[in-house]
Structure 1
Amino acid sequence: MELDPSVMAGFGVSEHDIQSFTELNAGLAGIDTSRLSKFLLVQLTSAWKHRTINTFAITDVIQQLEGRGPNRSSTAKPRPFKHEPLRGLWKVHFFDPRFLMHNISNQWGLPGPESDKFDKLCAHVAAEENENPSTVGWQGRLAHELVIEGYQDRAAKRKLTGEWLIFGVQEQKNVYLALCTHSDGPEQDSEIYNALLSLCGEEFPEVFATVAGGE
């Protein structure tokens, strides 16, 4: 299967770019790239060429899933999708610095008014500053607790989140399909499934034959 040239054009890459990335990128050393979809290689090549994401954040995850090298991941373990139409596929998070603020926001419950974590953090900082004033003031102490301590705590608990690398299993081996943003519900699950089927279905039909949406 050959990808529609418009897909490559949309990501701003050429066949030559993809070949260069695949052959020269150290992150793919020892990896059977025939088990990476052509679409995933387009995504990775685009990220590498346009410097939008550190591709080692993804290739390190692939290396770990292939059992190559130690697992130093600070994200959650790979999990299967539980609900149709994606049931039968797997997801694993990868982390990139551009996701830092989202993780800090989640750590302190900033997305919604129902959490009092940030209020408790501010009260803690104020109490610490009154008892033992710091050279950087309450602002510096709050910034450190909010960002540095928040990040370290989340990483230690393997709660760092980013985007998904979606993969399937074929002949007891992983087949890596695509990078994807998180789904917000069943409607987006269907959109993700339809996109994966369109972009990767002909290339890996056995994977999609076992997926709930393909039954």
Structure 2
Amino acid sequence: MEHDVRCSTTSYIRENLDLHLMTGRYSTVLVQELAEMFERRSGNMFALLDEIAALEGAPSARPSLTKPPTMFVRPPLTGLWHKHYNQASFLHQNVWNHWRANDFAVHAAKKIGQAAIPDDKLVGALIHEFVIGGYRERSGSRRLTGQWIVYARRDDVNTYLTLGTHGDDAAIRRRVLACANEFPELDLDGRGPAR
């Protein structure tokens, strides 16, 4: 029974991935990670699919509000690419990143000074401006952060390999190597394409 549920979930994941791809491909590792995310309800799979659709230039793609894709330049992920995807659990990090780069006190004084806010509502207004205002400004500049979709690019085709988090390079590399047999032409293990 558990095997049937897992097969049903992976089929559902594959169908959703296929809907968002134009030329790209995806690994079995990624399908398994998304199936686990979906079954455990540990993340928003659809936010991730939106980012893949945006990377693919799919007609149904929503505009990405996250940072642009970037190539890894340091080992052990050199040559691979990553794209952020955002979820509610990253709200605090995005708000923190925004105000670390901007002076909240100056911003709050200006915003709050422009509105006639009663003293008993001032703390709530400041909290609202800190959280909602910070998030709104960061997303409006398309600089949201989050976790990563890790992929390889070859001949303008993306191959989506695995998910990743900041500081987890060794584990990401192990999962990428698990994809090497599936995509030998990408030389993910550094031994050259299969002949």
What range describes the TM-score normalised by the shorter chain of this pair? 0.7 to 0.9
Distance 1:191 1:136 in 2: 50
Note the 1:57-206 alignment, pairs <5 A. Answer: 57-69=47-59, 70-109=61-100, 117-120=103-106, 124=109, 128=113, 132-134=116-118, 137-183=121-167, 188-197=168-177, 199-206=178-185
8 Å CA contact 1:37–1:175 kept in 2: the answer is yes
- Give the unaligned 5+ runs of structure 2: none
Task: Output the CA distance in 1 between the equivalents of 2:19 and 2:49.
Answer: 9
Asked if structure 2 preserves the Cα contact closer than 8 Å seen for 1:99 and 1:161, the reply is yes
Instruction: With the length of structure 1 as denominator, give the TM-score of the two structures.
Output: 0.74
**Partner secondary structure for residue 68 of structure 2:** coil
Is 1:22 the equivalent of 2:7? Answer: no
Task: Give SS of 2:50's match.
Answer: helix
Instruction: Determine the structure 2 residue equivalent to 1:112.
Output: none
Q: Deviation at 1:195?
A: 3.1
Summarize deviations over 1:16-52 as a string: whole Å, max 9, x none.
32123323x4x64153798211110111112222222
Q: Which residue does the alignment assign to 1:3?
A: none
Identity %: 33
CA RMSD of aligned residues (A): 3.1
Aligned length: 188
Secondary structure of 1:29's counterpart equals helix
Question: What is the CA–CA distance in structure 1 between the aligned matches of 2:74 and 2:175, rounded to whole Å?
Answer: 17
Query: Where has structure 1 moved over 4 Å in runs of 4 or more?
Result: 118-122
Separation in 2 of the partners of 1:128 and 1:164? 39
Unaligned runs of 5+ in 1: 1-7, 110-114
Q: CA shift at 1:71, angstroms?
A: 4.9
Shift of 1:108: 1.7
Task: Judge which range, 171-180 or 88-97, deviates more.
Answer: 171-180
Is 1:166–1:176's contact at 8 Å kept on the other side of the alignment?
yes
What per-residue deviation string (whole Å, max 9, x for no partner) do you get for residues 59-92 of structure 1?
1111111111255111111111112221111000
Give distance in 1, aligned partners of 2:145 and 2:62: 16
